[in-house]
Amino acid sequence: MRVVLVGAPGAGKGTQAKYIAEHYEIPSISTGDIFRANIAEQSDLGKKAKAYMDAGDLVPDEVTIGIVRDRLAQGDTEPGFLLDGFPRTVRQAEALDDILSALDTPLDVVLELQVDDDEVVRRLSGRRTCRTCGHVWHVEFDPPSRDGVCDECGGELFQRDDDLPDTIRRRLEVYTEQTAPLVGFYDDAGLLRSIAAEGSVDDITTRAIDALELAAKS
């Protein structure tokens, strides 16, 4: 199974990527993980990515695409893979098609996790981060024993600027601007499957697997 997972910030991509990858026994590949691994290994691509990141700039497509190309050429992806965080644009999707064509491993399905904007704001704005150990709590889903105090280390909890409601809504606007064409691209290609990403984690995982199984049979 070769899968691309798309969805807005807060849609639960990271959680579902883990469970889907475990179900199919395939590697879950996120661009963030790839960047960190290449930077740790001090590969040529990792050095290029680090230079942009250290300068506060976005990593250019050609560097990101090169890193993904190298990762997908590794042996553990032969049974399949799940991509989380790539592609983000139509240009990247076209580059991914070229990569997979060269590897003779076409994409099977693009799974979109759909969630209401208000639900995303509720999920993300409830997060509280420990200033000391970095542990992330949630005022509703995973609250600490004492308000504002980390159970792990006793540190002070705070709300990151990224988790403020206005910031979240702006991130959602950017996501929609960037990703709507991508979703349309894969829909036109007949690869898109969409599921509701609300409810319990188990329910969402069941929907995801059912959608992937249906796609595999079609």
- Catalytic option among 36, 50, 69, 171: 171
169 an active-site residue? Answer: no
Of 68-72, 98-102, 125-129, which range is least confident? 68-72
pLDDT per position as a tens digit, 10-44: 899 989 999 999 999 999 999 878 888 888 888 88
- Catalytic option among 47, 146, 160, 170: 160
In angstroms, rounded to a whole number, what is the distance separating the alpha carbons of residues 101 and 2?
Answer: 13
**C-alpha distances in angstroms, 60 versus 46, 66, 96?**
13, 10, 15
69 an active-site residue? Answer: no
Alpha helices in the chain (DSSP H): 13-24, 31-41, 44-54, 61-72, 90-103, 117-125, 165-188, 201-217
18 an active-site residue? Answer: no
For the chain, which domains are there? 2-116+180-217 (3.40.50.300)
Question: What pLDDT score does 56 carry?
Answer: 66
Spatial contact of 157 and 135, defined as CB atoms under 8 Å apart: no
Torsion, Cα 42 46 47 51, to 10 degrees, reads: -140
- Catalytic option among 13, 71, 123, 128: 13
pLDDT per position as a tens digit, 156-211: 999 998 899 999 999 898 888 878 899 999 999 999 999 999 999 999 999 999 99
5 pLDDT above the threshold of 80: yes
211: which 2 tokens?
A: 């959608």
pLDDT per position as a tens digit, 43-85: 888 888 888 877 767 678 888 898 899 899 999 999 999 999 8
146 pLDDT above the threshold of 80: yes
208: which 2 tokens?
A: 């995801």
48 an active-site residue? Answer: no
Question: What pLDDT score does 195 carry?
Answer: 97
- Catalytic option among 48, 71, 127, 193: 127
Read off the amino acid at residue 172: L
In angstroms, rounded to a whole number, what is the distance separating the alpha carbons of residues 116 and 196?
Answer: 9
Instruction: Tell me the pTM.
Output: 0.84
Spatial contact of 73 and 65, defined as CB atoms under 8 Å apart: no
122 an active-site residue? Answer: no
124: which 2 tokens?
A: 């993300």
